Amino acid sequence: MITTTQIEMALGHVNDPDLGRSLTELGMIENIKVDGKKVSFDLVLTTPACPMKKRMSDDCVAAIHELVDREAEVEINLTSRPQPDPKEELREAFKQVHNTIVVASGKGGVGKSFVTSMLAVLAERKGRRVAILDADITGPSIPKAFNLACGAYQDERGILPPCSNMGIKVMSLNLLVKDPAEPVVWRGPVIAGAVKQFWTDVCWEDVDVMFVDMPPGTGDVPLTVFQSLPVDGVVVVASPQELVGLIVEKSIKMAEMMKKKVLGLVENMSYFQCPDCGTRHDVFGKSHIDEIAARHGIGPVCRLPIDPGFAAAMDAGAVETVDCPDLQPVVDVI
């Protein structure tokens, strides 16, 4: 007997030839009905004139015959949504980035850029193709951490992001300003627009995972990132002091309101381990990270030590040489 689940799973193997993602993932399959050997469903196109409709229909029939039942009679109703999805253009531009992870914090100076850099380095070491989009213009931390001083190049495909030694692609507003020490005096909506342009105009090519270093807080730019990028998950970074107050919960709640999954919670500068005797000192008192993670049902939590070596490597443009095994549990769920 044929089931709707079998049909859905078979159609999960059919990709939109332009977007390279499955029709089910793109929400293009609706109303699957099965009656004996008769199978019908709607294929929802963005426009009735879609040049790929014949190919997609043929691929659907082939997938059902191959994976479910050779004798199934397949009827496909081609429909289209009256309004084109306004996010389609951005999705299209981002089709080559498979997984987008936002790194957020309630306030600045908690080590968000350090954690973003480290997540990227650890993911790259796992063999993933990695990119960083630095959306925080308050300081040129990311280009500096990877020793990238040059601006971006442009050819007919778009802006080409500079690459780190290990091959991490980096795009940052800070790479486009002439003097990184000069403040960028742009208002929120202008910055938000520039960040959006990094999606549409930067030629990312094949990237398995992109980390977005988000400005701290819950203002214009974070909101734009959540609303207009295909964000797959969020990692929240906090200092021990923030975990006592409510600041970090604002970041978590923003992700929840935007219906994005918080993949991990990182308490940075959590403790100090004496290099001479090995004793661990909880400089800021007892950690509250586990309570908060439990309250919001967040998976892996990490506590990173205060390590002068981290700061020195960030300053020297050598973050790719740093070892930070404590962060591995978060990288493993990305």
Nearer to ligand ADP, 6 or 172 (CB): 172
Q: Which of 119, 129, 310, 331 binds ligand ADP (CB under 6 A)?
A: 310
User: Backbone phi, then psi, for 60, in 5-degree steps?
Assistant: -65, -45
- Under a CB-based contact definition with an 8 Å cutoff, are residues 331 and 119 in contact? yes
Decide if residue 112 touches ligand ADP (CB under 6 A).
yes
Residue 109 touches ligand ADP, criterion: CB under 6 A = yes
Q: Which of 28, 34, 3, 31 is nearest to 16 (CA)?
A: 28
Residue 314 interacts with which of ligand ADP, Mg ion, none, CB < 5 to 8 Å by class: ligand ADP
Cβ atoms 251, 260 nearer than 8 A: no
Question: 114 touches which of Mg ion, ligand ADP, none (CB within 5 to 8 A by kind)?
Answer: ligand ADP
CA–CA distance, 312 with 83 (Å, rounded to integer): 52
Among 141, 164, 218, 268, which residue sits at the site for Mg ion (rule: CB under 5 A)?
141
- Does residue 221 contact residue 88 with C-beta atoms inside 8 Å? no
Contacting ligand ADP within 74-103 (CB under 6 A): none
Tell me how far, at minimum, the Cβ of 235 lies from ligand ADP, in Å.
12
Determine phi and psi for 281, rounding to 5 degrees.
-110, 125
Residue 241 CA to residue 248 CA, distance in Å, equals 10
Residue 218 binds Mg ion (CB under 5 A): no
Binding segment toward ligand ADP, per CB under 6 A, in 105-113, 150-158, 180-188, 203-211: 105-113
Q: Which two tokens stand for residue 219?
A: 């203002």
How many beta carbons lie within 10 A of that of residue 101, not counting itself? 23
Number of amino acids touching ligand ADP (CB under 6 A): 17
φ, ψ of residue 164 in degrees (nearest 5): -80, 180
**Residue 110 binds to ligand ADP (criterion: CB under 6 A):** yes
Judged by CB under 5 A, the number of residues near Mg ion is: 3
How is residue 19 written in tokens?
């977007």
Instruction: Please choose which of Mg ion, ligand ADP, none residue 268 contacts, taking the beta carbon within 5 to 8 angstroms, the exact cut-off set by kind.
Output: ligand ADP
Window 260-289: residues binding ligand ADP (CB under 6 A): 268-269
Q: What is the DSSP string of 166-192?
A: T--EEEEHHHHSS-TTS-----HHHHH
* 172 contacts Mg ion (rule: CB under 5 A): no
- Listed ranges 16-24, 82-90, 137-145, 311-319: which one lies at the site for Mg ion (CB under 5 A): 137-145
Instruction: List 124's β-bridge partners, or say none.
Output: none
Cβ-contact 47, 32 below 8 angstroms: no
Question: Given candidates 209, 304, 331, 334, which one binds ligand ADP under the rule CB under 6 A?
Answer: 304
113 binds Mg ion (CB under 5 A): yes
What are the residues binding Mg ion (CB under 5 A)? 113, 136, 141
What are the residues binding ligand ADP (CB under 6 A)? 105, 108-114, 141, 268-269, 304, 306-307, 310-311, 314
